[in-house]
Amino acid sequence: MTILLGFRLALAGGREGLARAALVAAGIATGVPLILLALSALPIMQNHIDRLAWHRTTATSPATAPDHAMWLAVTDRYAGQDIIRVQVAALGPRPPVPPGIARLPGPGERVLSPALASLVRSVPADQLGDRFPGRDVGQVGPDGLIVRGELVALVGRTPAEMLAMPGAIEIAGIEQPGLRLDLAGVWGVLFGLIAALVVGPVAVFVAMTVRVGGPRRDLRFAAVRLAGATRLQTAVLAATETVVAAVAGTLLGWLLYVGLRPVAAGMITLGHGSAIFTSDVAVPVVPLIVVLAGVPVLAVLTTLVALRPAQMTPLGVRHRRRRRPPSAWRLAPIVVGLAGAWYSFGAANDPDKVDDSLAQATLGQISMVSVLITLIGFFLTGAWVCMWVSRGMARVSRSAPTLIVARRIAADPYSTFRMVGGAAVAMYVATGVGFSVAASSSSTPPTTLDRGVVAVHTQGVAIPALMTGDAVVARVTPGQMIVVSCSDLARVTSMSCPLPIYQEGGADDQVYLRAEDLFTLPYPNPTSADTVFQPQGFSSPGPLTSSLPVQTVFVRTDGSTAAEERVRTLAAGAVPQSRSKVSADLAGGSGWTGVADILPYAMVFILILTACSLTVSVITGVLERRRPFAQLRASGVSLGELRRIVLLETGAPLAVTLLLGVGLAVLQSLILIAPSDWILPSGRFLAGLAVGAVAAYGVSLIALPFMSSATRLDAVRYE
């Protein structure tokens, strides 16, 4: 009966009640998709590992078919895109078959992925198609692709042809999924933290929303208590309206998540340059149930905390006692969090722990927990900062509105920070993400290979067609020393003479590593059959150099994509195991993949939610103080001064806490990012943060026009 009465009271609230319920539902519907997308991140990365499984096939892979097959997989390149090129030959009627195809292609046949088939048709054969000789007998289905646009080719050969190919192996089966994501616990903490950061602004928004029309609801619940209702019954009545709105908002948020899955999948590339499959964007069943059931519960708990007047005595009398002002101990969690981050970063750069995967996982978890502790400290410190804002305003006050604002904030700094805390947290998170992205992009080493030069790694096999003219040939000794003339290498690279020698801690370490990247294999992404080659240094040519195996041939072209791809195609046809790279391949990427691409969009949603939270808090503040404002206006305070009060009590704490959030994020980035990688984010990013903060504050000021009607003389009541 209590619940039914709660429904009736909720529906009897008129337009005010419906608006309040709509705002709660809208806030939750905005937060739920973001939470679910954050929780989808770890499954997306694990699905990526599972889809990669068959690329890891080796001679030791468990048997998956009665017969064996010959296998040679190489990561090729075309115009900056990876191509997985697999030469196969069945050794029986029932050989192992990769996912996505019905059977292995026979001699003179090929199977291409849809994206590669389309690409082959669009460019001349001598630039791409000749790498995959044979007639098309099918296409690789989605089960055999990492992302929608992955370029994959399986070329059928005879067993005799495969035996003559260097690097070909005999396999008994295709590698199956089962490899767990590296540092899954660390990634879980990271994405769980992101989800928690989304929950915070949602909870703040709900807390602000349920206070709309709070005084009249308090009177209503006091009357119910006078009629004999218990505290529990009053709490149920207070929570019923929020439950309806929260359930509706959660269902709407889940529908939005379902609708946003294709959009999110289209934005996530995981470093492959093509979108992932929509089916990979999925939340596991247990976390999904926890979110869908937990968000309404959280909304109800937030309502009960925010609507403490619902527990009033039957006469509506409460003994109000001023809360103790916040003290400096609230800074302690920030100090602990920053200290933990400093320790984890220092230990992660300890050579004795770098090679220990368990230690790395532990340090990663310590780092993420430290960030979470810092965030908690930020929440606790906010009220203390607002208290000092009020004291500063009181000290410099030269007008009545400023003094009123200072006294108002000093009376309850906790509520003041709750009002602006969502925006401060959003700014803290956005700034941290911006510095991380900037550091990731700064860590990309400059390319060493000259533009227009193709480095073909023949891996011991000579290709006479390429070793002509001004081609530079680098050979390899049995001890994996690269033998090449310094002057020759300088003609095709940015290297200068003499060639660098690696010295631990030396100033030329990066120069040597860039020279080493010219010859390191596999590069940039390995398949199982790619021969791993790590040069041990450089040596000058001698009398016996011509008898050494050819490791790399540097071929100069006119710099056009067509010319570079012709060289690659020629090399792939002559030596299927060969790999080649150009300067763009050596340039690398930003280091931020996939899920990070949608973080800016998530921050936009959070800023929108923050703007709504600020707006609701301003409206609530005006409505709750309608009578005091009317009395001030009746006593001679102008309407403009009343509006200045509202502007200052929101704007001053907001500005200071935003600066605190940005400063804390900058300090944290200085601790967690190596000095050589730490750079300021782009000016566009910083401008976007500033515009977002100003926009959030500007949206909140839509309540100012209501000041005129809310402070009319008829709002003054006499007992």
Please tell me whether residues 432 and 460 are part of one structural domain.
no
d(CA 397, CA 403): 6
* Number of domains observed in the structure of the chain: 4
pLDDT for the residue 593: 46
Output the six-digit token pair for 655.
């500005």
Position 136 in a domain: yes
**Residue 134: per-residue pLDDT:** 92
Note whether 386 and 424 are same-domain residues: yes
Asked whether residue 281 is assigned to any structural domain, the reply reads yes
Tokens of 97: 């078959």
Name the percent of the chain lying above pLDDT 90: 20
DSSP H or E run through 171: strand 169-171
3-state secondary structure of 561: helix
Any domain includes 719: no
Section 505-520 average pLDDT: 71
- One domain, residues 674 and 702: yes
The backbone torsions φ and ψ at residue 165, rounded to the nearest 5 degrees and listed phi first, read: -90, 125
Average pLDDT of the residues of the chain: 78
Q: Are residues 135 and 216 in the same domain?
A: no
Residue 63 has pLDDT above 90, yes or no: yes
Q: What is the mean pLDDT of residues 180-198?
A: 53
Q: Considering the domain boundaries, does residue 416 fall inside one?
A: yes
610 confidence band (pLDDT: 50, 70, 90): low
Q: What's the pLDDT at 112? A: 96
Q: Tell me the per-residue pLDDT of 232-244, one tens digit each, with 9 for 90 and over.
A: 777 677 677 778 8
Q: Which of 566-580, 663-677, 680-694 has the lowest mean pLDDT?
A: 680-694
Average pLDDT over residues 678-700: 74
As beta bridge partners, residue 76 has 83
Residue 341 and residue 313 in one domain? no
Indicate whether 460 and 578 sit together in one domain.
yes
| Claim to verify: residue 506 and residue 569 sit in the same structural domain | yes
Element of type H or E holding 348 = helix 332-348
DSSP, residue by residue, 15-37: HHHHHHHHHHHHHHHHHHHHHHH
- Residue 446 pLDDT: 61
Q: 339 and 392: one domain?
A: yes
CA distances for 336 relative to 253, 326, 367, 376, 668, angstroms: 36, 19, 12, 11, 12
DSSP-derived 3-state class of residue 107:
coil
Question: Which H or E element spans position 581?
Answer: strand 579-581
Q: Report whether pLDDT(93) > 90.
A: yes
Point out the least confidently predicted range of 213-222, 277-286, 388-397. Answer: 213-222
448 falls within a domain: no
Gap between the Cα atoms of 332 and 600, Å rounded: 31
**Which range of residues forms the domain containing residue 566?**
453-587
- Position 415, amino acid: S
Q: In this structure, are 466 and 571 located in the same domain? A: yes
User: What value does the mean pLDDT take over residues 215-219?
Assistant: 60
Task: Decide: helix, strand or coil at residue 404.
Answer: helix
414-429 residues labelled b (16+ CB within 10 A) or e (exposed): ebbbbbbbbbbbbbbb
Question: Which of 270, 295, 319 is the last residue in one of the domains?
Answer: 319
Between residues 350 and 186, which one has the greater pLDDT? 350
Number of Cβ within 10 Å of residue 542's Cβ equals 9
Judged by average pLDDT, the poorest of 5-14, 109-118, 327-336, 483-492 is 5-14
Question: In the predicted model, what is the mean pLDDT of residues 76-84?
Answer: 88
Residue (of 595, 577, 528) closest to 53 by Cα position: 528
Q: Is residue 178 part of a domain?
A: no
Question: How far apart are alpha carbons 228 and 605 in whole angstroms?
Answer: 44
Does residue 633 fall inside a structural domain?
no
Give the pLDDT score at 269: 79
Local confidence band at 516 (pLDDT 50, 70, 90 cut-offs): confident
Where does residue 567 rank: exposed (0-12), middle (13-18), buried (19+ CB within 10 A)?
buried
Give this prediction's pTM.
Answer: 0.70
Q: Which of the listed residues 319, 349, 382 is the one where a domain comes to its end?
A: 319
Tokens matching residue 174: 């295709």
Same domain for 287 and 328, yes or no, is no
Of 561 and 633, the structure prediction assigns the larger pLDDT to 561
Read off φ and ψ for residue 419, nearest 5 degrees. Answer: -70, -40
Dump the DSSP string for 256-283: HHHHHHHHHHHH--TTSSS---GGG---
Q: How much is the pLDDT for 6?
A: 62
Look up residue 323 and give its two tokens: 């809360």
Residue 544 has φ and ψ, to the nearest 5°, of -100, 10
**What are the residue ranges of helices labelled H in 52-182?**
114-122, 159-163
Decide which of 370 and 446 is more confident. Answer: 370
Q: Is the pLDDT of residue 466 over 60?
A: yes
Please answer whether residues 579 and 523 qualify as being in contact, where contact means their C-beta atoms are separated by less than 8 angstroms: yes
CA 718 to chain CA centroid, nearest Å:
57
Which of left, alpha, beta for 468 (phi over 0: left; psi -120 to 50: alpha)? beta
Lowest-confidence region among 128-132, 353-357, 480-484: 353-357
Q: Would you place residue 65 in the very low, low, confident or very high pLDDT band (cuts 50, 70, 90)? A: very high
Shortest CA distance to 87 belongs to which of 178, 206, 167? Answer: 167
Is the pLDDT confidence value at 140 over 80?
A: yes
Residue 312 sits in the same domain as residue 326: no
460 plus 582 within the same structural domain: yes
Provide the pLDDT for residue 527: 60
Kindly tell me if the per-residue pLDDT of 358 is higher than 60.
no
Which residue, of 319, 340, 373, is where some domain finishes? 319
pLDDT confidence bin for 30, thresholds 50/70/90? confident
**Each residue's pLDDT tens digit, 538-549:** 888 888 888 899
What is the reported pLDDT for 184?
A: 47
pLDDT tens digits along 545-596:
888 999 999 999 998 989 999 999 999 988 888 888 888 877 654 444 444 4
Q: Looking at the predicted structure, is the pLDDT value of residue 488 above 70?
A: yes
**pLDDT at residue 34 greater than cutoff 90:** no
The verdict on residue 632 lying in a domain is no
